[in-house]
Amino acid sequence: MSWLTAEEALRALKTKPQTLYANVSRGRIRAKADPADPRRSLYQATDVQRLAERHAGRRKTETVAAEAIKWGDPVLSSAISTIINGRLFYRGRDATDFAEAATLEQAAALLWNGAAAVFSAAGTGYAAPSLQAAFLALAGRVTSDLPSLGRSPTALRREAQGVLSTVADALAPGPSDRPLHLRLAESWQRPDAADCLRRALVLLADHELNASTFAARVTASAGAALSAAVLSGLATLTGPLHGAAWQGVGTLIETALALGAEQAVRRTLAQGHRLSAFGHPLYPDGDIRAIALLSHFPLPLEFAGLRDAGEAMVGEKVNLDFALAAMAAAFDLPKEAPIIMFSLARSAGWLAHAMEQIDSGELIRPRARYAGPAPETDTSR
């Protein structure tokens, strides 16, 4: 991610400083403090370029649409969550404040606009949290659940409870009357991790229109069952650029243990690889979710060393992927704990977005801008 000084941004925009600051305050241009001089600010280059092109009148409709899918303007409206000035909000409530005492069940009720998440006793008997079990259980539901079209919001909310119960039975097996964070802590035999698990689940529940949420909404927009929408989200989440980014953090930690933190960062950058532990496009001053989590458990020494070296060399603060990997190490959780937590929590968000998309009655169907060989023409006519 590249950043511009105020002078560079003003030259690109051909505007006054007041207009630049107004665009920052309205969230159109991301800004952060200059590491070399905290009194100055730096401005996100792609945001500046996008506004400069808009002001110059060079953007055609198809260009706007294409850029909207690549970290551009919102591609659809949602009342569920948003990120404004480095803060995450669930239906207008500050998510980090909400996570101080809330459970995932309460987060689901908030995201579902008041529909409580009540779990049934499925009696699956899973011995331990299993992502594979979640995939199999959801796939089994997809073949028997009703399509979402033509069904009332009440019926869909009731089904959403059942789908989330299905996911919870696979990812946090335990008695249905126990909060999910306690079920997860007991499954991993780590009772001391329970409160941090609770916070993490709440903070992971939703994050605006990310890749997996968009996938879930596309599926729901076609009228598929809610279980199909969650299955789509879960499949997308496993990508290394999304929910599986914590694996890159683990690899970086292993290199740091062998070579030292600074050398690990230097080698990764020299090889042209991205550092999944640092930075987030929506949080130029630091991932607020990571900040909220990292303040509630002692950071292992190897993670502290990597954080200090990486932040100094990259100029970006550690993100949620780093925090989840550090939390797993601090409490000696299973290796796959970050993706288990992510999948369980985000299922609540996927269901909220699926129900909102169904309520809109709109099919998500963008057009492709063809860039292949020229179509054949019949010259005999």
Percentage helix, strand, coil for the chain under 3-state DSSP, each rounded to 5: 55, 5, 40
One of 169, 207, 321, 353 is an active-site residue; which one? 321
Q: What string of H, E and C letters represents the secondary structure of 21-54?
A: HHHHHCCCCCEEEECCEEEEEEEEHHHHHHHHHH
Sign of the Cα torsion 94, 98, 103, 105 reads negative
* Rounded-to-integer distance, Cα 184 and Cα 331, Å: 13
Q: Is 321 a catalytic residue?
A: yes
Containing 19, the helix (H) or strand (E) segment is: helix 17-25
**Is 273 annotated as catalytic?**
no
Catalytic residue from among 181, 207, 280, 353: 280
Identify residue 212 by its one-letter amino acid code. Answer: S
CA distance 253 to 338: 15
First-residue to last-residue Cα distance in the chain: 52
Question: Side chain identity at 195, as an amino acid letter?
Answer: D
Helices (H) and strands (E) in the chain, counts: 18, 6
Catalytic positions, written as ranges: 280, 321
